[in-house]
A and B are shown apart, each in its own frame.
Chain A
């Protein structure tokens, strides 16, 4: 399931070099928030990771999937009751080689704090389905 236009919407996209940035608005009414967790909605860390992959797809213009995560740190929880909009800043985007692999470093933040830092490699989806 794609989370775009369901768990979040893009309110501003700046594909500029060298550091593309997306501002997204979270949808506090989403089913995920009733399940994670009842009475204490928190954006699941894995959804924050998936959103990074979806935004990267938009940036490079192809379907991607996560192959490797070097490291993700979740420094503060993103609760939709307290945080409505966060920014995904792509500090580094490297299209590695002919395989089409893309390496990224992303920071998720708002004006108050950094919530998450993420360093991962995504590959085109076609490679996976041919295995």
Chain B
């Protein structure tokens, strides 16, 4: 079995650089996935040294995309599928992470139906919660 830390996250995501907003997966089980993102100065969503709200949402969505990519590639042995954000609800940001920091995100799968995955996500930076949201991710067949 391939362990998570051996996997290049690029193999799990349909997005390519410079639009990859997950650096690595750190945990994955039946209902949860955790990931990290190192915020580099070159990141598309960095503005005035801060990683902005759209970047946080994309990072949480791609944590879910990487989870689905892992299932496809390592469990179901099929290609990674394209996914889109179907909806965002109750997103709230308390502070913006800065360049040079690493953020950690935990998503919980609340439901999966008809190609849609509903998740709730929480992002931490240096011990503080910086963002929370619920997302619906739609998978393209």
Contacts and interface: CB of A to CB of B under 8 A. Distances in A.
Interface of A: 1-2, 31-32, 34-38, 40, 42, 44-47, 49-50, 53, 65-74, 77, 125, 128-129, 131
A69 B57 CA distance: 10
A47 B93 contact: no
Interface stretch (B23-31, B48-56, B68-76, B101-109): B48-56
B84 to A, nearest CB: 6
B18 interface: yes
B15 A37 contact: yes
Interface residues on B, range: 20 to 34
B95 interface: yes
Interface string B82-98: 10111111111101100
18 contacts: A32-B18, A35-B18, A35-B19, A35-B20, A38-B16, A44-B58, A45-B85, A50-B52, A53-B53, A65-B53, A66-B53, A66-B54, A66-B91, A67-B93, A71-B87, A74-B84, A74-B86, A125-B48
B54 A74 contact: no
Nearest to B57: A46
B contact patch SS = mixed
Report whether over half of chain A's contact residues are helix, strand or loop; otherwise say mixed: mixed
B54 A47 contact: yes
A91 to B, nearest CB: 18
A65 B84 contact: no
B7 interface: no
Contacts of A53: 53-54
Contacts of A65: 52-53, 96
A73 B135 CA distance: 10
